[in-house]
Chain A
């Protein structure tokens, strides 16, 4: 397959919560490991994933599919409790401990895998302006681009996904 033009995946990452950072990073890093080309276009809250010292969190509010915090008690956290100060940190800690227990790589590790393996990481300029994110706020090695940058790449992609 090496003689052929490599397959290509173009991904848009729109969300910056801990759980939603995983799919784009997993698919892009795996694509490169499968001899494909990959790019992630980070837009709006997705920019949080590539910020320096990012500290992604997961919210306990409004997620009907959130598992109960204690497996022995099959009750999820009521939204009104999730609204209490500190609950986002608690939910984030729990999510991280579940992931750690399952042996899932941290998003930082997957991000590093993307950067090292040559995934094109593109911050969307317009949303950076809207969200007051400067290039120096982002980790090193991020390209800056706009809609046509993404479309130019995606025109030759076999797979295009948005998260």
Chain B
């Protein structure tokens, strides 16, 4: 998996990770993958809802020591 951009949203709260990922995708091409790091526990549900609504895909996600990592593929 080739990540074209890493978005560090650690320490940020709702709704900033969602606003940030939206802005980040604007500059990218369809199929590009962004790695988003977040510590907001709500981001797990929020990212899923956001992906469902926008049609972008979370291809993989993991949690390590309170840091959630999402790999988002632009539609």
Residues of chain A having any CB pair with chain B under 8 Å: 1-2, 7, 26, 29-30, 32-36, 102-105, 110, 113, 117
Contacts and interface: CB of A to CB of B under 8 A. Distances in A.
Contacts, number: 44
Those 5 A-B pairs whose CB atoms lie nearest each other, nearest first: A33-B22, A30-B15, A34-B53, A103-B13, A104-B13
Nearest to B56: A35
B18 A33 contact: yes
Contacts of B45: none
B31 interface: no
Interface of B: 11-16, 18-19, 21-22, 40, 49-50, 53-55, 75
B44 to A, nearest CB: 16
29 contacts: A1-B54, A1-B55, A2-B55, A2-B75, A7-B53, A26-B15, A29-B15, A30-B15, A30-B19, A32-B22, A33-B15, A33-B21, A33-B22, A34-B18, A34-B22, A34-B49, A34-B50, A34-B54, A36-B53, A103-B12, A103-B13, A103-B40, A105-B12, A105-B13, A105-B15, A105-B16, A110-B15, A113-B19, A117-B19
